[in-house]
Structure 1
Amino acid sequence: MSDTARAPVCVFAPWDDIQAKPLIQFQNVTKRWGDFTAIDDLSIDIYAQEFFALLGPSGCGKTTMMRMLAGFETPTEGKILIDGQNVAPIPPNKRAVNMMFQSYALFPHLSVADNIAFGLKRDKMPTDQITARIEEMLSLVQLNKFANRKPHQISGGQRQRVALARSLAKAPKLLLLDEPLGALDKKLRQDTQFELMDIQEKTGTTFVIVTHDQEEAMTVASRIAVMDHGKIIQVDTPAKIYEEPRSIYVADFIGDVNLIEGNVSRTTEGHATISWAEGQNELTGIARNDIIPGSVATLAVRPEKLNIYTSRPKDQSNVIKGKVLDIAYLGNMSTYVIETPTGQQIKAQVANTRRIQRRQITWEDKVWLSFTETAGVVLNQ
């Protein structure tokens, strides 16, 4: 072993530190338009240097939250604080906040460099400082070679980076991104997600992104707020949102999941067991303390947590029997749709470590699925 002690890895989790002061605070914020409530008594803290995602279906209120942060809308009730200051009386152009729209809103007649410089010139920054800042931003987004081109002379992904550079040029405390990658094709969108993360880390700017793309939120965010009908259903890290959903809604909204409803037959510390179908084994998963025997509950288990066998596995507590109804080949993995004798369909995903010709399981085969007692979560709401 080396004589030099390795420094401990610092985990970024200010939300777990009771001494940490939030950069953004929504305090009992409600937003109404007539009889319609877009945001319903919402409270949330967002910390400096977070990459925070607001995730939910269309109409859930995530864009309204962002517009209130930017100053384009005002709360009907409650307060929004940035750095401890109530921002209600501060107009949008005076806030230390910038917003990047899905359309990018670049000026077509200006070069890449002049687009980046636009806000700096309006603020009457000295010319030498503007030049230095443009160079810094071009380097950050790796577009130095394209400084003199017009927006129509560069690709969609490059225009997205110009819009990002322009948004960051004034060094805002907070950058709001409204579906920023929605106009890009899937491959470019995936590549750009990592670029966004890298830029956010380099600048230390707090990013708040609005998206309905679950994969995008899971990739870029330090924490995700899952929203529905103007309320935040769960705020957590991507890993906890996926592995430890606190409601059926969150489990079902994020990724692919099997939902198996049954009656709770017994509970032990941290686990609950459900009886769900005649002729099938009872199933056990992780559970909170409010799950009680005799109640109705739903076991949520991800398809990739399930193993699939051609004969009944031994010494497995969670076993489901059925037959192969369908198979979807996805290249790196295959999804098997298994139909139980009662007609319920359950998905299992298996990595394709063998070539197709060597597979053992095919349509109509009788199979057994199994998963560990920590793979699924038993939910009652």
Structure 2
Amino acid sequence: MPESDFAPWNDPDEKPLIRFKSVTKKFGDFTAIDDLTLDIYEKEFFALLGPSGCGKTTMMRMLAGFEAPTRGVIELAGQDIAPVPPNKRAVNMMFQSYALFPHLSVYENIAFGLRRGDMPKHDIGDRVAEMLKLTRLEKFAARKPHQISGGQRQRVALARSLAKAPKLLLLDEPLGALDAKLRQATQFELMDIQEKTGTTFVIVTHDQEEAMTVASRVAVMDEGRVIQVATPEHIYEMPNSVYVADFIGDVNIIEGTAKPVGSERYEISWADNKAPLIAASERPFSEGQNCHLAVRPEKIAISAERPADADNAVEGKVLDIAYLGNISTYHVELPGGQIVKAQAANTRRVSRRTFTWEDTVWISWTATAGVLLPQ
């Protein structure tokens, strides 16, 4: 979904579907969620991303009703959901294990929740047929879970979760059991199904690539706090801290001290007897302030000669080369011992590399290629 078409978080009149208001969750002395405030909007595919133990599953369990906040309020569609038991919430949860009934067919697994509700019998058949079609499982309706593949079982769990048309679907590491290729294909299926149903999806994952692929917005978490919430593009190109820059994708972090040299331009002193680096930044820095310049490897060029017009050019030595088919990543050691990664696209089918180990090279990048961060 193009961001320009769908950005309710930028509309001040749009009411969030889910609101965490100063929510804290403690287990004994341990604080799993620390004073969290967060809005999630209707029809969003929202990702909670972070390392194990950062609190993302606890947030999800509170939304599902399996845990209650120690302090603060969680609202769904404007109502405090704390007093509402899990089975009465317009929320469904899809577990990592899928939790399918092994003795029931695919059809019966999907129908199970509907039969326990008060849906008329003739409507159940229609709804199950609709879910089978949505998840492309019509041909497998009579099979048992052990007779279908892992990817198909994942779709059965999804169909069952969506059958009761919840306002909100929670997905806990839903693709964890799938192999890499299937996982990628399933990510796009999930996005397609989410768009078709218009259900709000909240996915918990520690896989940054997954979060960046499927989500309209990503919340990067650490130790019970949300560090940054933004669109995948914004998180990647404009991280608000070294933690976020480092957590998402590959990045070079060069530490130094800043000195303003004009409108939104800074010189960064980073190594003894080395020319300062130049960086553009809308975020202000004072003279002598410690800073971190975060530059993605694909934004750094590598060349045999010093480029004539580069804002930043540093000489170094090739220490290591990672050949990844479409790109090669060069690990270049700078005079101070710092190692910087630079990427080059392998556009031609050649067996001979332009640069090899121990070669002296120049790495260069523009003043706007990096992000200047205070911490």
Match of 1:198 in 2: 192
Matched, 1:361 2:358: no
Q: Which residue type is aligned with residue 216 of structure 2?
A: S
Q: Which residue of 2 aligns with 1:129?
A: 123
Give 1:279 shift.
Answer: 4.1
Cα drift, residue 125 of structure 1: 1.4
Q: What corresponds to 2:219 in structure 1? A: 225
Is contact 2:91-2:170 (8 Å) kept? Answer: yes
What's the CA shift string for 1:58-96, capped at 9, x where partnerless? 111000000000000000000000000000000000000
The within-5 A match list for 1:248-263 is: 248-263=242-257
Give the conservation status (yes or no) of the 8 Å contact 1:264–1:295. Answer: yes
- Specify which of 330, 334, 339 is matched with residue 340 of structure 1: 334
Corresponding position: 1:215 with 2:209: yes
Secondary structure, aligned partner of 2:351: helix
**Structure 2 counterpart of 1:352:** 346
**Residue 234 (structure 1) shift:** 0.3
Aligned to 1:167, what secondary structure does the other structure show? helix
Secondary structure at the residue paired with 2:6? coil
Q: How far is the alpha carbon of 1:273 from its aligned partner?
A: 2.5
- RMSD over aligned CA atoms reads 1.3
**What secondary structure, in the 3-state scheme, does the structure 2 residue paired with 1:357 have?**
coil
Report the count of equivalent residues: 374
Note the C-alpha offset of 1:278. Answer: 2.8
Question: What are the equivalent positions in structure 2 for 1:108-119 lying under 5 Å apart?
Answer: 108-119=102-113
Unpaired segments of 5 or more residues in structure 2?
A: none
TM-score, normalised via structure 2 length: 0.97
The Cα offsets for residues 84-143 of structure 1, whole Å up to 9 and x where unpaired, read as 000000000000000000000000000001000000000031121111111110110111
Quote the residue 2:71 is aligned against.
77
2:180 counterpart residue number: 186
Aligned partner of residue 360 in structure 1, secondary structure = coil
Equivalent in the alignment of 2:285: 291
How many angstroms apart in 2 are the aligned matches of 1:132 and 1:336? 57
Which residue in the other structure is 1:240 paired with?
Answer: 234
Cα distance in 1 for partners of 2:105, 2:295 equals 51
Shift in Å at residue 177 of structure 1? Answer: 0.2
2: CA distance, partners of 1:219 / 1:20: 25
Alignment correspondent of 1:14 = 8
User: How far off its partner does 1:282 sit?
Assistant: 1.9
* Aligned equivalent of 1:307, options 298, 301, 308: 301
Task: Map 1:33-72; keep pairs closer than 5 Å.
Answer: 33-72=27-66
Q: Which residue of 2 aligns with 1:371?
A: 365
Name the SS of the counterpart of 1:175 in structure 2.
strand
Are the aligned partners of 1:248 and 1:300 in contact in 2 as well (CA < 8 Å)?
A: yes
Question: What percent of counterpart residues are identical?
Answer: 70
Hey, what does 1:144 align to over in structure 2? 138
How far did 1:359 drift?
A: 2.9
Cα-to-partner distance string for 1:245-271 (whole Å, 9 max, x where unaligned): 010110011111000001112254334
Alpha-carbon distance in 1 for matches of 2:118, 2:207: 38
Letter in 1 for 2:68: T
**Alignment partner of 1:173 out of 160, 167, 174:** 167
Work out which of the residue numbers 64, 73, 85 in structure 2 matches 1:91. Answer: 85
Given that 2:251 and 2:295 are in contact with CA atoms closer than 8 Å, whether structure 1 keeps it comes out as yes
1:289 CA drift (Å)? 3.2
Deviation at 1:9, TM superposition (A): 9.6
Match of 1:4 in 2: none
> Which deviates more, 121-130 or 107-116?
121-130
Poorly superposed stretches of 4+, deviation over 4 Å: none
SS in 1 for 2:33: strand
Map Cα deviations across residues 212-250 of structure 1 (whole Å, 9 max, x no partner): 000000000000000011110000000000000010110
| Amino acid in the other structure paired with 2:208 | Q
| Distance change >3 Å, CA 268–CA 231, structure 1 → 2 | farther
For normalisation by structure 1, the TM-score amounts to 0.96
Structure 1: gaps spanning 5 or more residues: 1-7
For residues 314-341 of structure 1, what are the alpha-carbon distances to aligned partners after superposition, in whole Å with 9 as ceiling and x for unaligned? 0111112101001111111111000011
Judge conservation of contact 2:257–2:291 (CA < 8 Å) in 1.
yes
Contact 2:9 2:41 in 1 (8 A): yes
